[in-house]
Structure 1
């Protein structure tokens, strides 16, 4: 169980808040996943949608790790209507029919990192994008690769979100609380975004990668020119319920792991999705996806630095 959870918690989460808890009852083969109410982001994520996405990604990693170790996992989302923090139960079974597609993703679990570096202008081949779309469909979600006009519109919304963020004292304070620069008085070094994962500053106009250092201006960061035409993908669902958020989190992680195996660098762009007045404008009105949950930036470039994770002893309870 410790090994499974060690893989599970490599999942991404907003500001690397790691908002998950796992409970395993000794003698059984079920692990319960809970959202951690003490690790919410009340300004940027007041509805806990991003929390569900991160926990869904951890849930998918758990399924991948289980398959790698020869287990089949039966997942039940939101098993307790009276406890909204009880997000999923996963029952493990030994069978001869392990999901090889899940198991084959395991090498990417520890290799996947968010890259906040510039990507090259090399275009991603169509078959690779088709594979990422198929990965999302396997988790009940849709992945849309926007055309030129839609990409430009999304990037404009990213810039709008940056302006709202710059003008919002509360959101800036929340981001600063989850950014680790080594200053005294900061929270634990096992959480948040460390300085070596920030990537370079954008030289010139706004970058497609979020800059977590807009307030402190760390002196040792380089500046770089980012790609002029980023390659984006939008992950969405028809409905917008907590169960949809958990499915989207699993699809998000499946896409990220498949992209990592395909040799792609990836980063997540949630800025316009954090503002209700912008989120509805992100989607393509002609597409069947009703609600966008994540914007991916994909391409060929440097791999991102690993971000810290809390030890399993802090996130796994044995009862």
Structure 2
């Protein structure tokens, strides 16, 4: 016993093979220090700088026309708006063009008409597109994929091909010079159905089953379970629909002949005369018509990317 205890005292450490001793990674007693941060190579720095320069250049190209439009709206009558190279900073900025447009043209009437049409169109799209997408995403029935393919295929048909039959139908229904005549042709879109279907597919089916076990019907599952979970996609669809309805020019031009029902695009077009045009007034009217879109997007931009990415997860 004494000999054994003496042997244990002489060899307190366990026997470790020579190969493991030479390899510090296999030795549990070796303490690893913090990893050193690798410095980015010169090639990566150049690539990142080139990417930022390209993005800045493309952004300037896209923002340039809007900056010129804003500068034109702020220029006085003595300045040359067609000078080359263009001047983006007015010599004597003035708001007289904006006040003249609001004073001599019924722009508030056009603004109210555009707001009513855009709000009704957005509400109709959110309701009907989500209702149409719900069975395509959450129910099983024969021919479901065929119906979805047919709906998606209509995205390849331009609206200009359908305007004549829609216009004749609107005339027969007495919808000329009415808000319904402006809203109904865009009350639902194939893109909206596609976006909402993709959003519904990302939600687990177990939520539907648990809701039905609690006695919920299909409508309650759609309204109380699914709709709150796809809020980012709803906001994305609302932004796209609002931009489409707010900037629509061709269909209001066809269905409306009463100037009191004009929307903002038609109102801006009415600023152009038959023989001469005051481009400062047109620029001011265009800035006024674009501001609501910028405000809506600025408020809802945090939901926009989330909704677009959520709708693209499943196919």
Which category of TM-score, normalised to the shorter sequence, fits these structures? under 0.3
Q: Which structure has greater strand proportion? A: 1
Give TM-score scaled by structure 1 length.
0.25
Higher CA-based Rg: 2
- Normalised to the residue count of structure 2, the TM-score between the two structures is 0.25
